[in-house]
Structure 1
Amino acid sequence: MKKTLASDNYSGANPEIIEALGRVNVGHQGSYGADDATAGAIAVFKKLLKEDIDVYFTMNGTGANVTALSSVCPSYGAIICSSVAHINVDECGAPEKFGGFKLLTVEKENGKLTPDDITPFLVNLGEQHWSQPKVVSITQATEYGTVYTCEEIKAIADIAHKNNLLLHVDGARISNAAVSLGVSFKEMLVDTGVDFISFGGTKNGLMFGEAVIFLNTKISENYKFVRKQGMQLLSKMRYIAVQFETLFGSDLWKENALHANKMAKKLAEGLGKVPEVVITQEVQANGVFAILPKEVIPAMQEQSPFYVWNEQTNEVRLMCSFDTSEEEINAFIEKLEILTATTA
């Protein structure tokens, strides 16, 4: 079966994850998280982050984001985020519909918010005619494949907390960000002041499932009820939990993410040698954004399917996965060189 550069969601599950699922598929275990694998996965996260956290598992990333944000932001509240944030453009209005709150978006060429982007929204606080900002949500790594440094995250956390706002991280590709920075999850999330995070695994080798982790346990009281109401409480929780226990209980998460990032760098290096191609974003995680000649895009999609990110500019998104191979990258670049030379 053809592999693609369309999305890290297209890849299968890592073989070690498949083995882990088989291990818990024997006998009976307690339901709704009352099982050994869930306890084990929570212990793994406490080791990675800190002891005083609350960990919950959900079935998918949108469910993690929506239930997490809805549990802390009232319907009269607002979430500050990038205009390209997944919660704004890729969740079909679920955050607003389910939570009832407002999204306040900022146009960013690289997808990264700064403290200066947040300041304009910190007006009319307490004014009953205005939606009240309650949360800043950032994506790590961003939808453009860029990565916040620990210093940048801390600066955002500081301004948020100074104004009684919470900091949420959409960490669908959190592992790719961590290996890109060369830091631990504790350094990137705990030490910077993040309050809660949607902790991703599906894009890094899991079959399904995400986690919602409250580093600030003072705000987690309502979450279990919102998760149930939001239809994200899986009865056979062990099938999600054992995947996280396996992925983060060893260096498997790091190996997967390092490989995906490495393949993205290799892809970018190859694209950079093709004169007709313009790379539009710094390649920091496992995604490459580039402008290709319009006439070669259909043929290149036949070689390896991918998404056109911006139809007006012919900017495309090329995503690498834990199982992307150097042979695939070489074949993609080779065909692109042939096509661009032919159409020049």
Structure 2
Amino acid sequence: MTDTSTEAFTPIHDPSTRGFASDNYAGIHPEVLAAIVAANGGHQVAYGEDVYTARLTEVLTEVFGRQAMVYPVFNGTGANVLALQAATPRWASVLTTSSAHIHVDEAAAPERVGGFKVNVIDTPDGKLTPQLIEAYPARVEDEHFAQIGVVSITNSTEVGTVYTGAEIRAIADLVHERGWVLHLDGSRLSNAAAALGVGLRELTTDAGVDILSLGGTKAGAMLAEAVVVLSPDRVAGATFLRKQSMQLASKMRFVSAQLLALFEGDLWRRNAEHANGMARRLADAVADIDGVRLVTEVEANAVFPILPREVSERLMQRFRFYFWDESTGQVRWMCAWDTTESDVDAFAAAVRAELAAP
């Protein structure tokens, strides 16, 4: 007989351990976990023909507009590849920042799996502007150049900055004027919206975004993201591309249930506000420490300080984080929905002690 006692599932890790390398380190929010358990009873039709996915579509069309089309997927890279494939003609390319996740951290999946080239622009703060896009040599109608078809932005950005709705609208107007499509990588869209005190729609539909990779995992889910088509006339084939991209879940109800737990109410906002608040607390706690240099303002849930390399290396033996810029010694500290004040205070105290050590 199978042992179903709780002892069979004793954690093998120290549940008190906290890392600051990524908000992906956090577990599943209890409300999300409860939603997965609640969805586990009985049979539901596979591949998205279930009541949970139907309800998710209702909820997200209320959030983003009646025109929105919702495609739950497993992970952020899959969401980005699927969204960009659906928006990019075979002969076109994607324009983004040099720090963009689709360029730096997805092992060339957009190019290798998606089949399109990614062109990049260097930016001082991880954000594109109309001026930067206009200055880019797009070589329109040059058959030797992969023509730009999509502009992709991230909010909040990979360097922790946040686009306002007005900034996105300015980009969208230029993008649409040129006949292109605007994609938003929203793996941390919840953090951006919470930081600005606005809704998700203000930073997407109302700002002119055409297709969205909606993040759930960093907001407290286990494995749940979604591609949300906001301009159906500008993209094509998402239904088929999801299957070809190996992102069509047979038991989709469990993916949809997670996103429902986040977005049917305000859990996404509560989690994001908490993570953002912990990042600000961490920045404030180390701001007066001699040897710590905060080169950027905390806008969402990331802190990017510069410390002496040997200090960071000693701290990394006890706390998980990594170097963001090896040449300067800049590191990245991320806070999550479950980061506590005591986590932050203990880490800040360790930073202070290391810098005070002879």
TM (norm. structure 2) is: 0.94
The answer as to whether partners of 1:46 and 1:52 remain within 8 angstroms in 2 is yes
SS at match of 2:182: strand
Task: List per-residue Cα deviations over 1:54-94 (Å, max 9, x = no partner).
Answer: 11011110000001101221332111101010000000011
Higher mean alpha-carbon deviation, 121-130 vs 268-277, is at: 121-130
Distance, in Å, in 1 between the alignment partners of 2:354 and 2:244 is 52
- Does residue 18 of structure 2 align to residue 3 of structure 1? yes
1:48-59 aligned within 5 A: 48-59=63-74
The CA deviation at 1:186 is 1.5
Which residue in 1 is equivalent to 2:164? 149
Letter matched to residue 83 of structure 2: A
Distance, in Å, in 2 between the alignment partners of 1:233 and 1:279 is 42
- Does residue 29 of structure 2 align to residue 18 of structure 1? no
The CA deviation at 1:304 is 1.8
The CA deviation at 1:122 is 5.8
The CA deviation at 1:123 is 4.0
Task: List per-residue Cα deviations over 1:185-219 (Å, max 9, x = no partner).
Answer: 11111111110100001001000021000110113
Distance, in Å, in 2 between the alignment partners of 1:133 and 1:253 is 33
Which residue in 2 is equivalent to 1:290? 305
Which residue in 2 is equivalent to 1:337? 352
SS at match of 2:72: strand
The CA deviation at 1:107 is 1.1
Which of residues 196, 199, 206 is equivalent to 1:181?
196
Which residue in 2 is equivalent to 1:119? 134
Which residue in 2 is equivalent to 1:196? 211
Which residue in 2 is equivalent to 1:71? 86
Which residue in 1 is equivalent to 2:10? none
Distance, in Å, in 2 between the alignment partners of 1:237 and 1:230 is 15
- Does residue 60 of structure 2 align to residue 41 of structure 1? no
SS at match of 1:153: helix
User: Percent same amino acid at aligned positions?
Assistant: 45
Which residue in 2 is equivalent to 1:322? 337
Distance, in Å, in 1 between the alignment partners of 2:136 and 2:113 is 23
Task: List per-residue Cα deviations over 1:279-324 (Å, max 9, x = no partner).
Answer: 1222111010010111211221233211111111111000000000
SS at match of 1:99: coil
The CA deviation at 1:251 is 1.1
The answer as to whether partners of 1:280 and 1:290 remain within 8 angstroms in 2 is yes
Unaligned runs of 5+ in 2: 1-13
SS at match of 2:300: coil
Distance, in Å, in 2 between the alignment partners of 1:232 and 1:31 is 14
The CA deviation at 1:333 is 1.0
Which of residues 206, 215, 221 is equivalent to 2:221?
206
The answer as to whether partners of 1:54 and 1:220 remain within 8 angstroms in 2 is no
The CA deviation at 1:6 is 1.0
Paired residue total: 343
SS at match of 2:70: strand
The answer as to whether partners of 1:306 and 1:318 remain within 8 angstroms in 2 is yes
Which residue in 1 is equivalent to 2:231? 216
- Does residue 201 of structure 2 align to residue 167 of structure 1? no
The CA deviation at 1:50 is 0.8
Distance, in Å, in 1 between the alignment partners of 2:138 and 2:291 is 46
The CA deviation at 1:278 is 0.9
Which residue in 1 is equivalent to 2:278? 263
SS at match of 1:253: helix
Distance, in Å, in 1 between the alignment partners of 2:340 and 2:347 is 11
TM (norm. structure 1) is: 0.97
The answer as to whether partners of 1:75 and 1:99 remain within 8 angstroms in 2 is no
Distance, in Å, in 2 between the alignment partners of 1:219 and 1:195 is 7
The answer as to whether partners of 1:74 and 1:99 remain within 8 angstroms in 2 is no
**CA RMSD of superposed structures (Å):** 1.1
Which of residues 148, 173, 184 is equivalent to 1:133?
148
The answer as to whether partners of 2:129 and 2:167 remain within 8 angstroms in 1 is yes
Distance, in Å, in 2 between the alignment partners of 1:292 and 1:41 is 44
Letter matched to residue 142 of structure 1: T
Unaligned runs of 5+ in 1: none
